[in-house]
Amino acid sequence: MDLLEYQGKQFFARFGLPVSPGLVADRSSGAVAIAERLGFPVVVKAQVHVGGRGKAGGIRPARNAEEVAEATESILGMDIGGHSVKCVLVEEAAEIAAEYYAGFTLDRSARRYLGILSARGGVDIEGVAESDPDAIAKTWIDPVEGLDEAGARSWVRAARLDEGAADELVEVLIKLYGAFVEGDADLVEINPLILTPDGRVRVLDAKVTLDGNSRFRHPGYGEYDATQPRDVRERAAHARGLQYVGLEGTVGVIANGAGLAMSTVDVVAQAGGSAANFLDIGGGADVDTMAGALEVINNDPAVRAIFINIFGGIVKGEVVAQGILDALDRVEMRSPIVLRLDGTNATEGRAMIESRLSDMLILADSMPAGAARAVELAGAAS
């Protein structure tokens, strides 16, 4: 789950990180009221799940109520990277003496956490890594041992940050690490982390990606999930508890297991077609899950054929077959279905399907054959 900036700052504040005071508004009158409460000058920031807001004109300073109203009205409704701005963060303006970058993420290959720190904040960190790799200090952290004060202090020195602010920087980094670990995050990033002229360290921006699978440990994460950007298809799938990502092709894909679903998307491409989605019904899918997946795919107007690719393990062949039959009874299918069914009780499942085979329901002997047939049908229907 990717958080909006204001949500990221609320998340950071829970762990004691020094964020600037600010509130969210969805109209100019509310933004003005917030600014007057905070005191001028302020900054009005577009809230979208994408970077590049400053370059797009989505971050504007304001010295008085008129400028706040003008900035808010200009930003609301703006399209930034394909995302429409629905609200703005009105925040106290900050004086900046130096800008840093700080972040933590996962390094799966090293099986450790990766910390990234740089004295060159406020710019694209990927660009810095490419043009001036020496400007970035990395540290790999054993999850069992964690980040202690000595490690954080050595890291600050390696990044050549301001020595006079070292104590406060160390404290901020340890708190940021705590947010990353205790908050079950995949990424936490502050860019910029600023040093003010009077020597204080402040969080000026927040980028946070949380592990959605940790929601059972964090009841409040439901609020973040509700603001995730999803198209109509993704909302329908999410409501059914399906792992779904919308794509731009014409072959609807349903598989059990993320690895098989990704492979199915690839095989469809190898057959000369393009997938309309990634949809993983999971290893323990039941009849309702299968039927719900078909309903979601069937409602996508771009889909011209559906390829169901199932290798039974925990999910049994007759369960898959019954889900398909229920879906056929429940909704009028717009697109033909090609089914490849192997694994646990696949013979029983195929036997259940036999009596319903037609131009709209076709059995395939293998994954490549099923993909090729689905691509052929999608092309004929286009």
Known catalytic membership, residue 318: no
Cα Rg, the chain, nearest whole Å: 25
Sequence letter at residue 132: D
Q: What is the pLDDT of residue 1?
A: 83
Q: What is the pLDDT of residue 285?
A: 66
Alpha helix segments (H runs only) across the chain: 5-14, 28-38, 65-75, 125-131, 149-158, 166-182, 221-226, 232-239, 258-270, 287-298, 317-330, 346-354, 367-381
Known catalytic membership, residue 92: no
Q: Which of 6, 67, 91, 101 is catalytic?
A: 101
Q: What is the pLDDT of residue 380?
A: 77
Q: What is the pLDDT of residue 231?
A: 63
Specify the DSSP class assigned to residue 304. Answer: S
Full pLDDT tens readout for the chain, 382 residues: 889 999 999 999 999 999 999 999 999 999 999 999 999 999 999 999 888 888 889 999 999 999 999 999 999 999 998 889 999 999 999 999 999 999 999 999 999 999 999 998 877 777 777 788 888 999 999 999 999 999 999 999 999 999 999 999 999 999 999 999 999 999 999 999 999 999 999 999 999 999 878 888 988 887 787 676 666 676 766 777 777 888 989 999 999 888 999 999 999 999 999 999 999 987 666 778 888 888 889 888 999 999 999 987 777 888 888 888 888 888 788 899 999 999 889 999 999 999 899 999 999 999 999 999 999 999 976 6
For residue 177, the number of C-alpha atoms closer than 13 Å in the C-beta half-sphere is: 26
pTM over 0.85: no
Q: What is the pLDDT of residue 212?
A: 79
- Angle between helical axes of 287-298 and 232-239 (0-180°, round to 10): 170
Distances (CA, A) of 28 to 2, 31, 69, 185: 26, 5, 5, 33
CA-nearest of 20, 118, 32 to 73 is 32
Cβ contacts of 148 within 8 Å, gap of 6 or more: 174
Beta-carbon neighbour count of residue 107 at 10 Å?
13
Q: What is the pLDDT of residue 348?
A: 93
User: Measured at the alpha carbon of residue 24, what is the angle toward residues 230 and 18, in degrees to the nearest 5?
Assistant: 105
- Between CA 92 and CA 22 the distance in angstroms is 6
Q: Which of 5, 67, 91, 189 is catalytic?
A: 189
